[in-house]
Amino acid sequence: MTSVLFIPRTDRNTKRALINEIAEAVFGTAEQSAFSEEFVPVGGRVPAPKKENFANFLINVPELLWAVQYNEKTIGFILIFNIPDPSSIGFSINSNFANKGIATDAFTLVRHSTLIKYPIFGSTSTRNTIAQHFMLKQGFVQLPQSFNFCGEESFKYRLDLP
């Protein structure tokens, strides 16, 4: 069963173990790192040591952060932060749980949060057809102009109040 756990900014230092579980899920091995960053432009990738740097990013940067859990195991995250646009969504799950509808279920739980300030935006590489499909499936609308994000041609999406 999919669940999400909101981690308020004020609690992130005390929830370091949970933050580390997220980092382990998406950057715990070279294979997981490659999966998580396959379609991320080189300039937007997490520098080594990936787990530690990503955990620090999660503590300090996102406006909103949710741990994605499946059967009570932390397998990924959904976040809202201000790069490249205000209220931009970011997400990833462990590759062992990909293509099972878990990210869709998690986003369905998150999208109705009263904490989110709509519209929210999503950006993805033009190479990332899986993320493009996910965005459209979730009701995001692709904006007409592509843009350069960290040196790579990308699409931008917008989601208004559900």
* Predicted structure pTM score: 0.94
Q: Is residue 49 part of a domain?
A: yes
Residue range 13-39, pLDDT digits in tens: 999 999 999 999 999 999 999 999 999
pLDDT for 125 beyond 80: yes
What CATH number has the domain bearing residue 91? 3.40.630
Q: In terms of residue numbers, what domain contains 22?
A: 2-116
73-82 long-range contacts (CB < 8 A, ≥24 apart) are 74/18, 74/21, 74/22, 74/24, 74/25, 75/25, 75/102, 76/22, 76/25, 76/26, 76/102, 76/103, 76/106, 77/22, 77/26, 78/4, 78/106, 78/107, 78/110, 80/116, 80/120
Residue 144 located in a structural domain:
no
Residue 156 lies in a domain: no
Write down the pLDDT at residue 21. 98
Question: Does residue 3 surpass a pLDDT of 90?
Answer: yes
Under the banding of pLDDT at 50, 70 and 90, the label for residue 162 is low
- The answer to whether position 88 is within a domain reads yes
For residue 44, the model assigns a pLDDT of 87
**Percent of the chain whose pLDDT exceeds 70:** 99
Task: State how many domains the chain has.
Answer: 1
Does pLDDT of 68 surpass 80?
Answer: yes
